[in-house]
């Protein structure tokens, strides 16, 4: 789930310099916005600091877009503010299309805490789209983005109001402060009350990942050549944080296959990364098959 290389961040920076204006809200679905170059800063970048924003790049002439857009809009309504759907007509907003280096549509990505996450560039069925959105929500929690958009109606302000989920306020504050111990404690408090809470479970795994990689020089780690399991696990952590899921999974699977003594701890780490990425990520599906082959 990473198309960041297909996004011109310098061009996006220029878009941020444009004058802001409120986006047009669909009165039938208050969680869907028609975003322009002028409203992009406020409705996508700034809003993504508090609630995930899914971006749908489309055009009137695009048949696959017409199949995908209703799915995204229905899910935005169903999720009731857990994310906001920002629709961008590439024919009308050519500056944004250039910034995203659009080569084919539909193109769907997300913004979490101001950072882009590439998602997919095809018309997927609803079940797969739902799985991708669930992954975005999990990534948002790990980034401390746990707000909920209340949405706007024809009688309300143009901008969706965002409120925080009080269950995760302490974890969010700890994450922003880089206090991993406090974040662990906050997620564990949620898990005491609701042991199966998936957001708290994934949030806790993300805290551990952030704590393990804090202060590392990523370039230095990625340049290491030692084959021992601890080094390979550290490299995999960095690859995973850089959204190189396939490389991280393949690395750990190779250790499991080639170093039997390290198998239990490395397998546990790989399963944790699977949980963070989400069961529907295509790299997870592929890696689970490889893991099975390595074990048996």
pLDDT band at 84 (very low <50, low <70, confident <90, very high): very high
Phi, psi for 167 (deg, rounded to 5): -60, -30
Which whole number is the average pLDDT over 128-153? Answer: 82
SS3 assignment, position 215: coil
Q: Catalytic annotation on 62?
A: yes
Instruction: Tell me the pLDDT band of 294, cut-offs 50, 70 and 90.
Output: confident
Domain 4-161, architecture per CATH: 3-Layer(aba) Sandwich (3.40)
Candidate list 33, 53, 57, 62, residue with the active-site label: 62
User: In angstroms, rounded to a whole number, what is the distance separating the alpha carbons of residues 183 and 190?
Assistant: 11
Per the confidence metrics, is the pTM higher than 0.75? no
Domain ranges (residues) in the chain: 4-161, 167-295
The yes-or-no answer on residue 242 being catalytic is no
Strand-strand pairing, 53-58 and 84-89? parallel
How confident is the model at residue 160, as a pLDDT?
A: 46
Catalytic residue among 1, 12, 53, 65: 65
- Does 208 score more than 90 pLDDT? yes
Give the residue-averaged pLDDT of 182-208.
87
């Amino acid at each position: 789930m990473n198309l960041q290389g297909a996004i011109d961040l310098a061009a996006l920076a220029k878009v941020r310099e444009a004058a802001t204006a409120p986006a047009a809200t669909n009165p039938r679905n208050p969680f869907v916005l028609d975003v322009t170059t002028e409203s992009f800063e406020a409705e996508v970048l700034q809003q993504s600091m508090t609630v995930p924003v899914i971006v749908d790049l489309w055009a009137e002439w695009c048949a696959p877009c017409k199949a995908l857009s209703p799915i995204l809009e229905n899910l935005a309504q169903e999720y009731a503010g857990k994310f906001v759907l920002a629709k961008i007509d590439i024919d009308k907003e050519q500056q944004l299309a250039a910034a995203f280096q659009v080569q084919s549509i539909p193109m769907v990505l997300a913004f979490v805490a101001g950072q882009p996450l590439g998602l997919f560039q095809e018309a997927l069925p609803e079940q797969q789209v739902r799985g991708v959105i669930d992954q975005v929500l999990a990534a948002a929690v790990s980034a401390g983005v746990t707000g909920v958009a209340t949405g706007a109606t024809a009688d309300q302000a143009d901008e969706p109001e965002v409120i925080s989920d009080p269950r995760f306020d302490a974890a969010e504050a700890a994450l922003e402060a880089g206090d991993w111990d406090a974040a662990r404690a906050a997620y564990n408090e949620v898990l005491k009350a609701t042991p199966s809470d998936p957001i708290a479970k994934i949030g806790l795994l993300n805290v551990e990942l952030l704590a393990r990689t804090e202060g590392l020089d990523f370039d230095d780690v990625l340049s290491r050549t030692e084959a021992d399991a601890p080094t390979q696990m550290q490299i995999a952590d960095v690859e995973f944080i850089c959204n190189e899921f396939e490389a991280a999974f393949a690395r750990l699977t190779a250790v499991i296959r080639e170093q039997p003594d390290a198998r239990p701890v490395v397998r546990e780490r790989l399963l944790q990364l699977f949980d963070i990425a989400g069961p529907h990520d295509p790299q997870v599906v592929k890696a689970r098959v490889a893991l099975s082959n390595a074990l048996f």
